[in-house]
Amino acid sequence: MAQDERKTEPDAAARIRETQASLARSRSAQAASVPLIGPSTARYESREKVTGQARYAGDVGPVGAAYAYAISAPVARGRITRMDVSDAQRVPGVLRIYDHQSMKGRVKPLAILGEGGYAATSLTPMSGPDIAHDGQIVGLVVAESYEAAREAANRVKLDIQATKPSACFGDPGLRTRPLSEVRKTKMWKDPKVGNADAAFSAAPLKVEAEYATPTQHHNPIELYSTTCMWSDGRLTIHEPSAGVNILKHGVAEQLGIVPELVDVISPFVGGMFGSKVAVTSRTVVIALAARDLGRPVKCVSTREQGFTNATHRAETRHKVKLSCGTDGRLASYGHEGSELTSRTDAYTVNGTQNTVHMYAWPALDTKVLMVEADRNTPGFMRSPPEVPYMFALEVAMDEMAEKAGIDPVKFRQINDAQTSTYENKRFTSRSVIQCLNQGATAFGWSRRNPRPGSMRDGDWLVGYGVAMASYPTVHVPAAVRVRVLADGTAAVQIAAHDPGTGAYTMAAMIAGQELGIDPQKVRVEMGDSRLPPGPLAGGSNTTASICNAIAQACSNIRVRLNVAPGQAVTMALTSGAVEEYLDWAPPGLEAAKAMTANYKGQPEFWGGAAGADALRFAFGAEFVEVRVHARTREIRVPRITGAFAAGRIMNKRTAHSQLMGGLIWGIGSALHEATEIDRRASKYVNDNIAEYLIPVNADIPAVEVIMIPEDDREANALGIKGVGELGNVGTAAAIANAVYHATGKRVRDLPIRIENLLPDVKRV
Ligand code: MOS
């Protein structure tokens, strides 16, 4: 099927060009007539999920399957000199034990996603004796049962020549290089405007400080798993994946077979936020084992293995310099970010690409440094650039406002930039002032006494803090098939993904709206590489991409059936069905090229700062109250208010969930979340879920989400900006700022812990 679809590319490209202009006109005209905040619709798949009917990839247990268990490297750096499997082979039920010698040469190298490949790491699985990080897969046991495979894996004896690893910032043996030198396929230019050093020196008021964010792991509820089966030379992979086409093409390349022979099935994803998109090391070795044994092989990673076999949010450091005049107008912005990565890959989030557009500074100077350690390659995790970089900037903004003697809400409003000083681009819409005003009113910001430590309620020190959220509005190409049947129902097929966000619901809603039928009558299929290639779930692109694509396909059907907007297309069908297959590409991309890449599982992102015409971003303002106990320094967050403007909101209920979830995650990020590492061994210490601290209901009594209507049909035809990641940007900074306001202690290193707030006592 994929082969046939590829042949349609030139036709599809021509069709896209034809329809693109009319799309913008008709969509935009029609969009004007529907509310900016859509209905509150229950999730399409909610009944299936709460009744346990939803079959996740890990639920697949094929008849006759064998079970695999990975052998993890016990050191972070070294070389395997001998692997003794004699004891392991005696475990009843063991079928095969693989090591780097038996796997050698069988897996072809794969570049990482974003560097022309599909992988989470460019380490080729089990390709040699060298160990590059703790937990690296160095062997695989396949047995009749999971228990037997695990038992045998534990009996394999490894002789290792270990070398002392470099684990963290400040450790000996790290290699530091500017990102502009490291980037292999894409040129990286650190944003600069004017002479920021001179402006900083000349300014009367300045802030210069260092900030830090820790390693964080996704730790999704649904464990990482892979089940592979071969039939007549075709491979089927059941794996929780939010990028089924990425996995399909990546594994095909690793195996050296054509992608048409690989199917990936992943209808539901039980949590991921970035960690189930790129190809990790386990999949291809499971596929090879299944082929060797001639039977299905299933592998479920343990919690601990998930910490090293998948990705994580990289640890970062920041040097920020801000300066302003006595009138409170910013004069300069300096930001040097350092990101910890592996020795094998320069994975970067280069957050300055977005922070430079935040405020009206006339001069700026930024730099991103890559710091290579003996760690596994990091990857993207909810708001990858913004969480670390906006934390540093938004705490620095609070410090700057205080120096200027200006309220931090007003300070941000004074420095609002409707046109960015970097590249002099305007925003298609930017509702920073509205977010600040509405958030402040709802929160009761006017009750804040600006003096730190001045607000108290009994034993509790009370603090109010504010910070901004921003997130680029991005789109990726999407192919979609819409079928309308004479029985009054419709079907939408698109290999997009719903990792709990509401994507299924959105697809049904937009199709129902455009076809003039009840969304309940729209059947949606997603998460399967046999469907038309839709977007990966990343960069909060899904709603904007799939809704624009589906709307266009439906509108084409309406034109074919000669049905006016607002009327039901099913009325025009007396028998049979009508079907539309459409390739949609974001308007700023060269359509034919973008779609060719999409069919290869190489989605091109467009939007954010990439638009030649303007900048596309969503914004929010977050307000928090913290209470710090005067004696114990226990930190509580009794209430939080977020006001967001993110263009059209398709579904009020699911958007609210995304934003609220983001705010709550932000609380965890500020106060609880850090993957601790044993620096001597470069090993994660709390690699489990028991010590994975997240805020529970008792920790979050009041969360208020305000969605501000924003009509921006220039961002895209439907004016959808996306809300998946916006909510947790800025929360940690708002809490750090509130903690300062409550206590007078400025904490610039996350997470903020009780010990950071204790009086400085001399230790004996
Ligand atoms: Mo985000 S982790 O780029 O969906």
Per-residue confidence (pLDDT) for residue 183, from 0 to 100: 82
474 lines ligand 1 (CB under 6 A): no
C-beta of 274 in contact with ligand 1 (< 6 A): yes
- Measure the CA–CA gap between 107 and 398, rounded to whole angstroms: 51
C-beta 605 within 6 A of ligand 1: no
Instruction: State pLDDT tens for residues 521-562.
Output: 999 999 999 999 999 999 999 999 999 999 999 999 999 999
Contact criterion met (CB below 8 Å) for 218 and 274: yes
For residue 276 and ligand 1, the question of a CB distance below 6 A is answered with no
Q: How far is the CA of 611 from the centre of ligand 1 (A)?
A: 20
CA pair distance 285, 124, nearest whole angstrom: 10
In 3D space, the residue among 350, 384, 142 whose CA is nearest the CA of residue 278 turns out to be 384
Q: Which residues contact 440 (CB under 8 A, 6 or more apart)?
A: 409, 446, 466, 621, 623
Place 33 in a pLDDT band, splitting at 50, 70 and 90. Answer: low
What does the pLDDT read at residue 99?
A: 98
Nearest to 138 by CA among 301, 251, 239, 282: 282
pTM for the model:
0.95
603 close to ligand 1 (CB < 6 Angstrom): no
Testing ligand 1's pocket by substitution, the residue of 241, 269, 313, 380 carrying the most ligand atoms inside 8 A of its CB is: 380
The predicted model gives 682-708 an average pLDDT of: 95
CB contact set of 764 (below 8 Å; sequence gap of 6+): none
Is the Cα torsion angle 642, 313, 430, 512 positive or negative in sign?
A: negative
Catalytic residue chosen out of the listed positions 604, 714, 725, 755: 725
Pairing of the two strands 262-265 and 192-193 = unpaired
Indicate the pLDDT class of residue 233, thresholds 50, 70 and 90: very high
Residue by residue, what is the 3-state secondary structure of 214-278? CCEECCCCCCCEEEEEEECCEEEEECCCCCHHHHHHHHHHHHCCCHHHEEEECCCCCCCCCCCCC
Instruction: Please check the confidence at residue 184 and state whether its pLDDT lies above 60.
Output: yes
Q: Between the ranges 104-108, 177-181, 585-589, where is the mean pLDDT highest?
A: 104-108
Q: How confident is the model at residue 52 (pLDDT cuts 50, 70, 90)?
A: very high
Distance CA 75, CA 116 (A): 30
pLDDT band at 565 (very low <50, low <70, confident <90, very high): confident
Q: Mean pLDDT across the chain, nearest whole number?
A: 94
Q: What is the pLDDT of residues 616-637, one digit of tens each?
A: 999 999 999 999 999 999 999 9
Closest CA to 547 of 597, 594, 582: 582
Report the chain's terminal Cα–Cα distance, integer Å.
72
Q: What would you report as the CA-atom Rg of the chain, rounded to the nearest whole angstrom?
A: 26
DSSP for 505-549 reads HHHHHHHHHHHTS-GGGEEEE-SBTTS-B---S-TT-HHHHHHHH
pLDDT given at position 200: 98
Q: Go through 311-322 and write b for each residue having 16 or more CB atoms within 10 A of its CB, e for each that does not.
A: bbbbbbbbbbbb
- Closest residue CA from atom 4 of ligand 1: 538
Which of ligand 1's atoms lies nearest the C-alpha of 274?
2
Identify which of 382, 473, 536 to mutate to test ligand 1's pocket (most ligand atoms within 8 A of the CB). Answer: 382
- Reported as type and span, the H/E element at residue 178 is strand 175-178
* Alpha carbons 185 and 197: distance in angstroms, whole number: 31
Average pLDDT rounded to a whole number, residues 733-758: 97
Give the pLDDT of residue 566.
Answer: 82
Centre of ligand 1 from the C-alpha of residue 81, in Å: 39
In whole angstroms, give the CA distance from residue 599 to residue 250: 13
Question: Which residues does residue 370 pair with via DSSP β-bridges, in sequence order?
Answer: 177, 339
Q: To 10 degrees, the CA torsion angle through 643, 645, 650, 655?
A: -30
**Residue 542 alpha carbon to ligand 1 centre in Å:** 11
Mean pLDDT for the stretch of residues 183-201 = 91
Give the C-alpha separation, 481 to 495, whole Å.
Answer: 10
Helix (H), strand (E), coil (C) string for 697-730: HHHCCEEEEEECCCCCCCCCCCCECCCCCHHHCC
For 62-88, write each residue's pLDDT tens digit.
Answer: 999 999 999 999 999 999 999 999 999
Q: What is the whole-number distance in angstroms between the Cα of residue 541 and the centre of ligand 1?
A: 9
Encoded tokens for 86: 């004699």
Q: 138 with 104: CB under 8 angstroms? A: no
Q: Which residue in 639, 644, 607, 614 sits closest to 725, CA to CA?
A: 644
Cα–Cα distance between 281 and 139 in angstroms, integer?
11
Closest CA to 273 of 596, 724, 575, 744: 724
For ligand 1, the distance from its centroid to the CA atom of residue 273, given in whole angstroms, is 6
Q: How far apart are CA 481 and CA 498, in angstroms?
A: 17
Q: Could you tell me the distance, in angstroms and rounded to a whole number, from the CA of residue 393 to the centre of ligand 1?
A: 20
pLDDT at 15 over 70: no
Between the CA of residue 194 and those of 200, 318, 334, what are the distances in Å?
A: 11, 21, 11
- Cα 537 from chain centroid? 8
Q: Is the predicted pLDDT of residue 7 greater than 70, yes or no? A: no
Say if residues 395 and 733 touch (Cβ distance below 8 Å): yes
Q: Which atom of ligand 1 is nearest to the CA of 538?
A: 4
Task: Select from 32, 47, 17, 26 the least CA-distant residue to 520.
Answer: 47
Nearest to 720 by CA among 469, 559, 510: 510
Q: How far apart are CA 198 and CA 331, in angstroms?
A: 10
Does ligand 1 come within 6 angstroms of the Cβ of 380? yes
Residue nearest to atom 3 of ligand 1 (CA): 539
Q: Give the position, in ligand 1's atom list, of the atom nearest the Cα of 381.
A: 2
Q: Tell me, using a 6 A CB cutoff, whether residue 273 lines ligand 1.
A: yes
pLDDT in tens, 473-486: 999 999 999 999 99
Over the stretch 155-174, which tens digit does the pLDDT of each residue have?
Answer: 999 999 999 999 999 999 99
Neighbouring CB atoms inside 10 A of 56's CB total: 18
Q: Which atom of ligand 1 is nearest to the CA of 540?
A: 4
The pLDDT of residue 8 is 44
Enter the tokens of residue 757: 């707030």
Supply angle C-alpha 609, 613, 617, rounded to 5: 35
Which of 372, 347, 379, 380 is CA-nearest to residue 77? 372
CA distance 431 to 418: 9
Judge whether 188 and 350 are in contact, CB under 8 Å: yes
In eight-state DSSP terms, residue 115 is T
Q: Is 725 a catalytic residue?
A: yes
Q: What's the pLDDT score for residue 2?
A: 40
Q: Which of 457, 439, 438, 458 is nearest to 449 (CA)?
A: 457
Q: 729: CA distance to ligand 1 center in Å? A: 12
**Total residues found in the chain within this entry:** 764
Is 644 within 8 Å of 706 (Cβ atoms)?
A: yes
The answer to whether residue 23 scores a pLDDT higher than 90 is no
pLDDT at 507: 98
Q: State if residue 382 touches ligand 1 by the CB under 6 angstroms criterion.
A: yes
Scan for tokens 């189930």, then name that residue: 276
Dihedral through CA 214, CA 120, CA 507, CA 613, nearest 10? 80
Average pLDDT over every residue of 275-288 = 98
User: What is the pLDDT averaged over residues 282-293?
Assistant: 98
Mutation pick for ligand 1 pocket among 383, 389, 729 (CB with most ligand atoms within 8 Å): 383
User: Which pLDDT belongs to residue 571?
Assistant: 86
